[in-house]
């Protein structure tokens, strides 16, 4: 009979008032329990990634840094040394040292490398000697250590299949955070201090809830930021975000390297089909500096006849410098520039979001903030599982904590319910991993409802009584 009462209590809506709280409680519970492990892995690997700049400098100090001795050699001499160290590779880009103690990075491609992977020679600009070569990754020229940690955080070194874990975590994080905020603010209505200050007098499950909710409130904005920016890199949801940016004309503009396109606008027509002598990277860099491209830059060599040099600023910390210039290889004259200040707002937000997510936008304070948020998120997840343990039936030490009562959707106003269904459908379409996992939650919930009904019927049949189960008890 006790089992029967428990089963009926689980299937009854928590109150008949028009409130979203019962539904939010159950959704927050399921999302926390089932998505928690993915968020935990993302937080742990993210914490490891935050300080990769310092780790890189420690591991690759010999390659990355030099001792100034006299005047720097020309870029041509440094490139020649790098070519000797990497025969058979194709020169692609050059990154002159940003400071007097930084080595020059000469970047090559080779047919046997994976997509977005490069061979980078680190050259002492004062002696033109190669200090070492490494396989690097991406536009940031990540070293092997950072590449390994990045792939761990992004996909657990499992390829495209592994990337589903991080997309699942990012797809649900924002919903878990917003739902938790609403639940906590409703619970503490009229008690503002308890919303943002932990009540240390409380013990047990309520004390854990205070720590979980208050610290979650403090880091909510950062978690939402990480969720949104993480989705921009995701495998499936990222495609939807890219399409949205296209529709809003928020794409990051690019500077063409075609000299014919620049000559069509009335500039340097005599060089539109250049195949003659090359001015060289030293003169090209000097021209870019004169046009205002100071700080660390990357020089991309012409990819063929009729192509210009492309010089881009690569300073990711605040204030960012992301200007670019196309330079004629024959005359070393700047034929066109692209200024970061002219980027669409959406492109600027994307740039700031990516660098903020990686911890480089504001330097060390950015790293410390992300590290603290990762640690707090880890603690919140562990507290959440501890609260789940507190909800278990005390007479059965092997039982798990019960979920919050089902049927909360019946407490919603019909208009709110329709909006919820419509919004959920749109989100599921735009974020496929979220949609599939949401469907999985519903299937699990229905199976639990079926199991509870079977247990209730078994208990009734054992007493010889007859029971009629309403359809509502299946939801």
Give the tens place of pLDDT for each residue, 147-194.
Answer: 999 999 999 999 999 999 999 999 999 999 999 999 998 888 877 777
Q: Are residues 110 and 172 in the same domain?
A: no
Q: Are residues 38 and 68 in the same domain?
A: no
Count of the separate structural domains present in the chain: 3
Least confidently predicted of 25-34, 142-151, 232-241, 278-287: 25-34
Per the structure block, which two tokens stand in for 406? 């089902």
Instruction: Give the orientation angle of helix 159-187 with respect to helix 144-155, to 10 degrees.
Output: 60
Q: Are residues 425 and 449 in the same domain?
A: yes
Q: Would the pLDDT of 44 be above 70?
A: yes
Q: Percentage of the chain with pLDDT > 90? A: 66
User: What's the rounded mean pLDDT across residues 440-454?
Assistant: 82
Least confidently predicted of 34-48, 308-322, 418-432: 418-432
What is the extent of the structural domain holding 467?
1-60+144-252+373-475
Q: Are residues 332 and 462 in the same domain?
A: no
Residue at 352 is within a domain: no
Nearest CA among 453, 457, 458 for reference residue 473: 453
Instruction: Give the orientation angle of helix 220-232 with respect to helix 364-390, to 10 degrees.
Output: 100
Q: Would the pLDDT of 473 be above 80?
A: no
User: What's the rounded mean pLDDT across residues 418-446?
Assistant: 89
Q: Would the pLDDT of 219 be above 90?
A: yes
Q: Would the pLDDT of 388 be above 90?
A: no
Q: How confident is the model at residue 76 (pLDDT cuts 50, 70, 90)?
A: very high
Q: Are residues 132 and 168 in the same domain?
A: no
**411 in Cβ contact with 18 (< 8 Å):** yes
From 289, 322, 342, give the residue that closes a domain: 342
Q: Are residues 31 and 179 in the same domain?
A: yes
Beta strands in 248-348 (DSSP E): 297-300, 309-313, 324-327, 334-338
Q: Are residues 151 and 221 in the same domain?
A: yes
Give the pLDDT confidence score for residue 215 in this predicted structure.
96
- Mean pLDDT score across all residues of the chain: 87
Give the pLDDT confidence score for residue 16 in this predicted structure.
46
Give the pLDDT confidence score for residue 470 in this predicted structure.
44
Q: Are residues 160 and 280 in the same domain?
A: no
Q: Are residues 433 and 386 in the same domain?
A: yes
Q: Are residues 155 and 8 in the same domain?
A: yes
The residue ranking higher by pLDDT, 194 or 348, is 348
Q: Are residues 169 and 302 in the same domain?
A: no
Q: Are residues 167 and 42 in the same domain?
A: yes
Cα–Cα distance, 232 to 248 (Å, whole number): 15
Beta strands in 22-142 (DSSP E): 90-95, 104-109, 117-124, 129-137
Q: b/e for 320-335, b at 16 or more Cβ within 10 A?
A: bbbbbbbbbbbebbbb
Q: How far apart are the first and last CA of the chain?
A: 22
From 87, 109, 142, give the residue that closes a domain: 142
């Amino acid at each position: 009979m006790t089992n029967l009462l428990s089963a009926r209590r689980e299937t009854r809506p928590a109150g008949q008032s028009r409130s979203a709280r019962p539904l939010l409680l159950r959704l927050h519970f399921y999302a926390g329990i089932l998505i928690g492990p993915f968020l935990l892995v993302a937080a742990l690997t993210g914490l490891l990634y935050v300080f990769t700049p310092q780790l890189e400098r420690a591991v690759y100090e010999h390659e990355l840094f030099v001792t100034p001795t006299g005047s720097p050699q020309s870029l041509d001499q440094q490139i020649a040394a790098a070519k000797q160290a990497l025969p058979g590779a194709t020169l692609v880009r050059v990154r002159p040292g940003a400071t007097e103690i930084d080595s020059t990075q000469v970047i090559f491609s080779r047919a046997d490398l994976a997509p977005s992977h490069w061979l980078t020679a680190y050259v002492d600009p004062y002696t033109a000697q190669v200090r070492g070569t490494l396989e690097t990754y991406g536009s940031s020229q990540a070293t092997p250590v950072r590449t390994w940690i990045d792939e761990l955080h992004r996909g657990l070194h499992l390829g495209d299949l592994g990337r589903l874990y991080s997309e699942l975590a990012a797809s649900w994080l924002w919903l878990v955070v917003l739902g938790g905020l609403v639940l906590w603010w409703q619970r503490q209505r009229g008690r503002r201090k308890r919303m943002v200050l932990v009540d240390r007098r409380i013990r047990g499950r309520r004390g854990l809830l205070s720590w979980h909710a208050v610290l979650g409130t403090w880091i909510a904005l950062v978690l939402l930021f990480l969720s949104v920016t993480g989705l921009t890199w995701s495998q499936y949801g990222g495609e939807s975000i890219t399409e949205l940016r296209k529709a809003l004309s928020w794409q990051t503009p690019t500077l063409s390297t075609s000299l014919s396109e620049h000559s069509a606008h009335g500039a340097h027509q005599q060089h539109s089909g250049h195949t003659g002598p090359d001015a060289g990277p030293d003169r090209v860099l000097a021209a870019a500096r004169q046009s205002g491209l100071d700080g660390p830059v990357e020089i991309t060599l012409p990819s063929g006849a009729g192509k210009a040099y492309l010089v881009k600023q690569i300073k990711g910390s605040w204030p960012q410098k992301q200007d670019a210039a196309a330079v004629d290889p024959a005359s070393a004259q700047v034929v066109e520039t692209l200024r970061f200040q002219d980027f669409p707002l959406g492109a600027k937000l994307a740039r700031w979001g990516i660098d903020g997510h990686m911890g480089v936008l504001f330097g060390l304070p950015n790293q410390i903030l992300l590290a603290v948020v990762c640690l707090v998120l880890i603690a919140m997840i562990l507290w959440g599982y501890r609260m789940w343990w507190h909800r278990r039936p005390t007479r059965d030490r092997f039982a798990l904590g019960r979920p919050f009562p089902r049927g909360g959707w019946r407490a919603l106003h019909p208009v709110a319910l329709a909006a919820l269904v419509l919004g959920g459908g749109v989100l599921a379409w735009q974020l496929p991993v979220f949609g599939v996992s949401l469907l999985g939650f519903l299937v699990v919930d229905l199976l639990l409802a079926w199991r509870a009904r079977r247990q209730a019927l078994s208990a009734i049949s054992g007493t010889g009584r007859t029971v009629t189960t309403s359809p509502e008890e299946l939801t």
